[in-house]
Structure 1
Amino acid sequence: MSLPANTMTFLLTGRNALFTDPVTKIGGEKTTYHVPTYEALKGVCRSIYWKPTFIWHIDKVRILNPIRTECKGVKPIKYHKSGNDLAYYTYLNDVAYEVSAHFEWNLNRPDLKADRNLAKHSAIMQRALERGGRQDIFLGTRECQGYVEPCEFGSHSGFYDDIDRVDFGLMFHSFAYPDELGRDELHSRFSRITMQHGVIEFIQPTGDLDKDRANGLPSRFVREMTDGHFSLGESLQSADDLYRQLEIGA
């Protein structure tokens, strides 16, 4: 099936995953959500291919393997003195997901308008996906290595295909960064997550916090934050330059 040029679907797998429930971080120990968050999957897409010219949106994720957890003892670095603490983290075990995502131009960056070349960004994106991403893939946290490969969404059999509905309640959804909001603030967004026949369809953020709240994405101000500065030809290569490098290296 032919997909729009700005869309990619892929299989995401790993031995372990830790999509941290923020409620459990207070005591220094972490427990994973049972399913990946929008922000974690957005991070995977950014590791496959990203530029400040566009913003990734996660359309849906399909849970393929049974949800299983395991507890591991870890030694995180102490915050206020030297040495390590002993803590127990609860991870997901043996995970596999099908993900469908697309990118949209970042309209808050008119200075990068010259880099909005859909055909070339799409070609670079597909090449990066075929090669496992331009950066290392992590499943929620750095110690959980992930792997990606192209796939057709719905092509694999899933453990939850015959289960009509599972509710996971209110979960962390994503961060609203300054480049998405158009102002120097960081906000966290939340949503109620429901899985139907193994598929979770995410509410799409708009970049307007009031509209997001009306659509079921309540948010909370975190802190002031400035956007990173990227300039074409200086700290940022254009899609034309990246595409030319791919052609030379092919």
Structure 2
Amino acid sequence: MAFGIKLKVWGDYACFTRPEMKVERVSYDVITPSAARGILEAIYWKPSITWRIDKIHVLKPIRFTNVRRNELEHKISVVNVKTAMKDPEYKLETFIEDERQQRAGLILKDVAYLIYAHFEITDKAGKDDPTDVKPEKHLEIFKRRAMAGQCFNQPYLGTREFSANFSLIEDKLPESELPQDQRNKDLGWMLYDIDFDHNMEARFFRAKMKDGVIDVPPYKEVFK
């Protein structure tokens, strides 16, 4: 935790989709570790570091709302993409008018979280730049970018249409508005992250919120 950070993220809406829901979009009660990692990577990431989520502090009441969203029925196939890469005259296209499907979604509204995280140096560090192995360098870059509101791409809260605001926290912690009856809750099995090294396998952990805080188990405990 010597090189850890605290980042507050918030937004009007969020949808951290439960993978067991095949058609309709149903959000978890709170942000998942993988979604939190994605926000940090949107602000600063290099192959030489990997972000690990330590804790998630829920700052606002957990509230759901129903929406209907237009989605595509099918994705463009990989075969068609490869064909277009080989043949410049091949038309790779899809039309929303022909593929539109309206699906219901149970999403979160008016959310705010405090993400506690740290990064680890990977085996790719220092190959092109000897100073790339210095954790202090990456920490300072992240802090500078977060304080200036800079990001490589717009962070989002589960899905890209729900953009996330963010602010680096270094001194006084933000106060939680979570009501007492929501502060201690067993959230059940939650998606931890995707194991990209083993056939994109989903890994889960038992999420329990105590006084509004979810302690995320170490990466090595989940990815054994």
Normalised TM-score (structure 2) = 0.81
Which of 171, 190, 200 does residue 171 from structure 1 map onto?
190
Partner residue in 2 for 1:91: 107
Q: Would the aligned equivalents of 2:47 and 2:124 in 1 still touch at CA under 8 Å?
A: no
Secondary structure in 2 aligned to 1:88? Answer: strand
Change (3 A) 1:48 1:20: same
**Structure 2: unaligned runs, 5 residues or longer:** 76-93
Deviations along 1:63-91, one digit per CA (max 9) or x if unpaired, are 01100011111110121783301111111
Partner residue in 2 for 1:57: 52
Q: Report the Cα distance in structure 1 between the residues aligned to 2:116 and 2:46, rounded to whole angstroms.
A: 19
Deviation at 1:103, TM superposition (A): 0.2
Partner residue in 2 for 1:15: 12
Change (3 A) 1:132 1:99: same
Which one-letter code corresponds to 2:9 in the other structure?
A: L
Q: Does 1:197 align with 2:211?
A: yes
Secondary structure in 1 aligned to 2:175? Answer: coil
**Structure 1: unaligned runs, 5 residues or longer:** 179-183, 207-211, 220-250
Partner residue in 2 for 1:68: 63
Secondary structure in 2 aligned to 1:85? Answer: strand
Deviation at 1:132, TM superposition (A): 2.2
Deviation at 1:177, TM superposition (A): 2.7
Change (3 A) 1:113 1:185: farther
* Structure with higher RCO (Cα < 8 A, 6+ apart): 2
Secondary structure in 2 aligned to 1:200? Answer: strand
Q: Report the Cα distance in structure 1 between the residues aligned to 2:73 and 2:134, rounded to whole angstroms.
A: 46
Q: Would the aligned equivalents of 1:100 and 1:153 in 2 still touch at CA under 8 Å?
A: no
* Pairwise CA RMSD: 2.4
Report matched runs for 1:179-190 at 5 Å.
185-190=199-204
Q: How many residues are matched?
A: 200
Change (3 A) 1:168 1:154: farther
Q: Would the aligned equivalents of 1:172 and 1:189 in 2 still touch at CA under 8 Å?
A: yes
Q: State percent identity of aligned pairs.
A: 28
Deviations along 1:188-240, one digit per CA (max 9) or x if unpaired, are 2100000000001101112xxxxx3xxxx378xxxxxxxxxxxxxxxxxxxxx
Q: Report the Cα distance in structure 2 between the residues aligned to 1:32 and 1:112, rounded to whole angstroms.
A: 41
Q: Report the Cα distance in structure 2 between the residues aligned to 1:130 and 1:158, rounded to whole angstroms.
A: 21
